Amino acid sequence: MTSSVLDLAPVLPVVVLTDAADAVPLARALVAGGLPAIEVTLRTPAALDAIGAIADGVPDAVVGAGTVISPRNVADAVAAGARFLVSPGWTDPLLDAMRASGTPFLPGVSTVSEVVALLERGVTEMKFFPAEAAGGTAYLKALSSPLPQARFCPTGGISAACAPSYLALPNVGCVGGSWMVPADAVAAKDWARVERLAREAAALRG
């Protein structure tokens, strides 16, 4: 895979799965739609099994773990097969664990001081969360001049409608969102709908 999670696709699907049996067909639909990178959040008991199922059963997918908030989460996610890690925020112990894992990671930030602190530690790629609530495109645009070396994956409140305005910013590599994996489509196992939404999302950066 590329060394950067930000360069895999314009949109990083953020997936919450309550049944690991849905993981493989969901991942196949996303990959078929042009979104190979998939963030499975560690918010449910099924998450680690889902990551393992995708890692084993969908070779064209690049599966990662989201909502990584502890060194234990890091170890469990990597053991399950996660190929990248995403956190909503960071602490020094969490950052150390993510770095030590040898797995690409996106630590979460929402303030200028957090961005500067990560740059001091040699980290230039970050998740901006919660994007819409924390200032949206105007905030990220304001960061691009004083901190041009920082690149972001904004996540949180992003939709198909506002994603293009984020993707147009020079310091945004991709956006994270869940609109292409709506809960009702997953519940109905409507993988064709997921694939169609993924294809539309993959085309957002023309």
Beta bridge partners of 106: 86
CA distance 16 to 109: 21
Q: Six-digit token pair at 50?
A: 């889902």
Q: Kindly list the catalytic residues.
A: 39, 127
Tokens 């790629």 sit on residue: 125
81: left (phi over 0), alpha (psi -120 to 50) or beta: left
Tokens 């909502």 sit on residue: 67
- The answer to whether the beta carbons of residues 106 and 86 sit under 8 Å apart is yes
